[in-house]
A and B are shown apart, each in its own frame.
Chain A
Amino acid sequence: MARELSPAVSPPRAAPARGGGRAAAGPPRRRGRARGWLYVLPALAVYLGFAIWPALNTLRLSFLTWDGILPPVWAGFSNYIKIFRDSALYEAILHSLALIVFFSVIPIAVGLLMTALLMGKVRRGMTFFRIIFFLPQVLPLVAVGITWRWLYGESGVVNQFLDLVGLGSITRAWLGDYGLALIALGLIGTWVMSGLCMMLFLAGAQKIDPSLYEAARLDGAGAFRQFRHVTVPGVRREITVAGVITTIAALASFDLVFVTTNGGPAGQTNVPGLLVYRLAFNEGDIGGASALAVVLTVIVVAVVSAVRYFTRDDQS
């Protein structure tokens, strides 16, 4: 279906080129390029104003001592030095690296598995599956968090289920357990992200030429080998996209942690985003919060670059 769609899409896409052709009286290439910039400008202005400018401003603030009201004072690198001396940062970074496993690695695995199971077999119920699995993405994470806090509670559904299957001895308040809170929190992320990954992979897998599967079948490949050699390479780009999105979600996680554990118990689920928030809004240390935000950005960019490097398309 996707293949049939593409020719239909092309003519409108060519429309701007026609406009460029009409202007061929002047130096065609330069003129076309200037026009191109004109189309980009409104978006560029918004992007500069609401993304680049605040980012630069955050960088500027990170070199100031400022409480939000009194005149700011130049602080040099002292905010950064203070942050790097605080052991809380390292713990928080470790926690968010652990969350990558739950927000990114497991959801991608689950997404691939679901894709393998759904590809080419279920036709009628497909929309239903998509809605069900995509639902966590539609709900605000704050609502998700509060609901899971109840599910995980001492007399919550999770423990009721464990009681029912005879595992009553291991029931506990999961998010309040010193050793297991981070894992419990991570599994909420797994629940949220798996649907997104599955949706991405299903969309990608539908582009795969059915003749490839046919050829593979003729060569005697079973379901697993078809999946391994046709489906997975076919959705490679989608895996990269999913990897990037979910990794950023893990590293920059804030809302989910804020409502479920608020970093507790005893700091076991602290993440950098939470520390930024506390510095800015509890302690009124805008400079320190900005410095930490800059550090977090650097970490996110570094990890995401690594993800992109390892999942890159070998051909390109």
Chain B
Amino acid sequence: MTRPARRAAVAALSVTTAFALTACAGASSSGGSTATKVNVSTTVPNDPVTLTLAYTNDPPTKALIDGFTKKHPNVTVKPQMTPFNDYIKSIKLAMSSDSAPDIAQYNPGAMNSLVPAGLILDLSPWSKAYGWTTKFPPASLEVLSSDKSAKQFGTGSLYAVPGGLSVLGVFYNKKIVKQAPKTLAEFEAAMQKAKDAGQTPLSNGALQVGGFHLWNALLNVTGDVNDYRSWVYGKPGATIVNPAASKATQTLTDWAKKGYISAGASATADADALASFAKGGSAFLITGNWAASTLETEMKDDVGFFLMPTPSGEPAKVASGASVAYAISSKSKNPNVAAAFLDYLSSPEAAKIEFDGGFMPVDTKADLGATGLRGDIAGVFAPVAQGNGIVPFPDFASPGMIDKLTPGIQGLISDKMTPDAFLKSLQESWDAHHGS
């Protein structure tokens, strides 16, 4: 009599069991083997090949795909775009699934679990075959190399190569500031002058990443880059509690006290700080070259760019930057073709595409013929990149670092945290990840 009910109960049970099984499968099928032997080759076969490429909304990717497939008409690259916020969360699952994309945009800080899980290929054999160490700026490859546990960077194997770089610096409004300051003291004087004239010296989005970008830019010019590099790459025993970082932090605190950075910065998003600067609301804005196209459109010739000036006045040798990088899935059936795409990223032809897409080209010697704001950026970027001076942002140092950096800078700006306490809190997060 109750047969239909029972049948329905069985159906319901099997539904839930199916949920249970799939959920378990999702949790346990990962971590597979890496030992697929690949015959490394630098030639692209003439048979039709289809690759899938997962990426997030960075502008040059699609143009780079078009450029590559024009050269190799038998290759089809299917792009799969995911908005940035969802990308980091979904790509790990996508890469561990059976239908993993052949090539994936890769962020070594946020996606480092792909390396120990063996889900992306060690690119060292291709790097040797193609000579990538001379084609890509060495500093840009350093960030993408790591040990097997992906805790220490700048060592071990190469897991991705960049398809466009970015650089952090200072934009200035030429209507307010006549000339780019040459020393840190001149920069401060220019901010004071703007303040005295009743203008906002510096737009800053300390609600998001703007605050620690400012700190990072100062840190790059206050001390030895090797200390910072060891720390951000997770070299055993490294610490951020050092004199250079103290000086940078103290400078930021002083600027806040002098009114160069307003308390309102803590509630200002990066996009709002950019918008305020673009409307002529402030003299300076510290952010990356990714803001250039917006600022060019809004401000025309009234905007310029310089790297954070050094105390001594010699040109800055170090700047922070990031890259759009691409890795190859260890499940790819055509790793050689995928590697050919990665190699294409270093070509002069790709350099033009990367630059037009708002990034700095991987081929730092490419002639870009840029003028105006883009010319300013290209002019200061090339020597730094060629001198191996591009370093990663500080949130790279450990997974929880960004949650120490953002509130920490807000604490400094609102004078509720001392520079020492700030640096100690960063080191705590570092120690928790790397072991003290």
**Residue ranges of A at the interface with B (Cβ–Cβ < 8 Å):** 26, 30-31, 34-35, 37-38, 41, 44-45, 48-49, 53, 57, 66-72, 149-150, 152-154, 172-178, 181, 260-267, 278, 281-285
Whether B28 is near chain A, meaning CB under 8 Å from some CB there, is yes
Q: From the candidates B11, B92, B263, name the one contacting A68 in the complex (CB within 8 A).
A: B92
With A176-B267, A262-B207, A265-B266 known to touch, is A49 a contact of B28 (CB < 8 Å)? no
Query: Contact flags (1/0) for B179-207 with A, using CB distance below 8 Å?
Result: 00000000000000000000000000011
Closest 6 CB pairs of A and B: A173-B264, A176-B267, A266-B411, A175-B267, A176-B266, A265-B266
On whether the beta carbons of B113 and A69 are closer than 8 Å, the reply is yes
In the bound complex, how far is the Cα of B88 from the Cα of A199, in angstroms? 40
User: What distance in Å separates the Cβ of A194 from its nearest Cβ neighbour in chain B?
Assistant: 23
Residue of B nearest to A35 (CB): B5
> Would you call the interface of chain B mostly helix, strand, loop, or mixed?
helix
Q: From the candidates B12, B207, B208, name the one contacting A44 in the complex (CB within 8 A).
A: B12
In the bound complex, how far is the Cα of B267 from the Cα of A176, in angstroms? 4
User: What distance in Å separates the Cβ of B279 from its nearest Cβ neighbour in chain A?
Assistant: 11
Residues of A near B89 (CB, < 8 A) are 281
On whether the beta carbons of A176 and B5 are closer than 8 Å, the reply is no
In the bound complex, how far is the Cα of B201 from the Cα of A145, in angstroms? 27
Residues of A near B169 (CB, < 8 A) are none
Residue of A nearest to B29 (CB): A71
Query: Contact flags (1/0) for B90-119 with A, using CB distance below 8 Å?
Result: 001100100000000000000001101101
On whether the beta carbons of A265 and B407 are closer than 8 Å, the reply is yes
User: What distance in Å separates the Cβ of B66 from its nearest Cβ neighbour in chain A?
Assistant: 32
Residues of A near B16 (CB, < 8 A) are 45, 48-49, 53
Residues of A near B411 (CB, < 8 A) are 265-267
Whether B129 is near chain A, meaning CB under 8 Å from some CB there, is no
In the bound complex, how far is the Cα of B410 from the Cα of A44, in angstroms? 47
Residue of A nearest to B30 (CB): A69
Whether B400 is near chain A, meaning CB under 8 Å from some CB there, is yes
Q: Which of B397-425 contact A (CB under 8 A)?
A: 399-400, 402-403, 406-408, 410-411, 413-414, 416-417
Q: From the candidates A45, A178, A262, A267, name the one contacting B15 in the complex (CB within 8 A).
A: A45
On whether the beta carbons of B407 and A264 are closer than 8 Å, the reply is yes
In the bound complex, how far is the Cα of B267 from the Cα of A175, in angstroms? 5
In the bound complex, how far is the Cα of B10 from the Cα of A38, in angstroms? 12
With A67-B113, A69-B119, A71-B28 known to touch, is A264 a contact of B263 (CB < 8 Å)? no
On whether the beta carbons of A278 and B400 are closer than 8 Å, the reply is yes
In the bound complex, how far is the Cα of B116 from the Cα of A67, in angstroms? 11
On whether the beta carbons of A31 and B410 are closer than 8 Å, the reply is no
Interface stretch of the complex, out of B19-27, B39-47, B135-143:
B19-27
Residue of B nearest to A66 (CB): B27
In the bound complex, how far is the Cα of B262 from the Cα of A177, in angstroms? 11
